[in-house]
Amino acid sequence: MTTLLLPARNDGRLCPFFLADVVLISCISIDTFSIELWFVALKRGCRAMSLCFRGIVPEDSDMLLRWRNDPETRHNSIHTSEVFPEEHARWFHRMMTVDPSRIAVAELDGLPVGVIRLDWNDERDSSEVSFTVAPEHRRKGLGFRIVQLKTEGLSNVRVLARVKVTNLGSRRIFDRLGFRVVDRIGDLLLYARDPGDAVLGEVSSAFQVVEPGARRVSL
């Protein structure tokens, strides 16, 4: 009998399931994202899938441009205009050469599913987070997991996020993770989580178990 640990609760805790002649699930409270993980794991030979992060590589350029110009992404972005290839190429070159560690691509079982960016101030005591989930992987709980895993270790600094009032999905994510609204400028809400604030919905480090050969990067 093989025991695998996968995210299986809305609060981010891990629960085991067992693979033998039948599958015995030890958790009753599960979400759609967890069910998808279980069945994909079964179809792929009963291997636990994991969300991990890697640095950007040149081959990511076209993918990131496609995600950025997706209509829903543009609608929820601070700058809603379409980004043209030449402008994107200059931005991507700058990210690759000046500070590539500020951006990480999230991968689920080796498949890119999102990107997250942390912009630090000069004193390195505050960081602004922004993220995008690949259009084809939205509404699976991945946005929450991505932000959660990349910010849960930042308990000693102030973490900020600017979110449009109409972006209810991102607002729910930051609310669940213990951020609070500290300002509003027009249609933008400024969320903040300060040192000492409770980090809600913490995920056990076991969730980040990565299969051999996977790449990681710490921002």
The model's pLDDT over 54-101, given as tens digits with 9 standing for 90+, comes to 999 999 999 999 999 999 999 999 999 999 999 999 999 999 999 888
Q: Is the pTM of this model over 0.95?
A: no
Whether residue 214 has pLDDT greater than 50? no
User: For the chain, which domains are there?
Assistant: 2-43 (no CATH), 51-208 (3.40.630.30)
In tens, the pLDDT along 104-114 reads 999 999 999 99
pLDDT tier at 28, thresholds 50, 70, 90? very low
Q: How much is the average pLDDT of 176-184?
A: 97
CA 4, 173, 6 angle in degrees (round to 5)? 0
Closest CA to 206 of 1, 39, 3, 35: 3
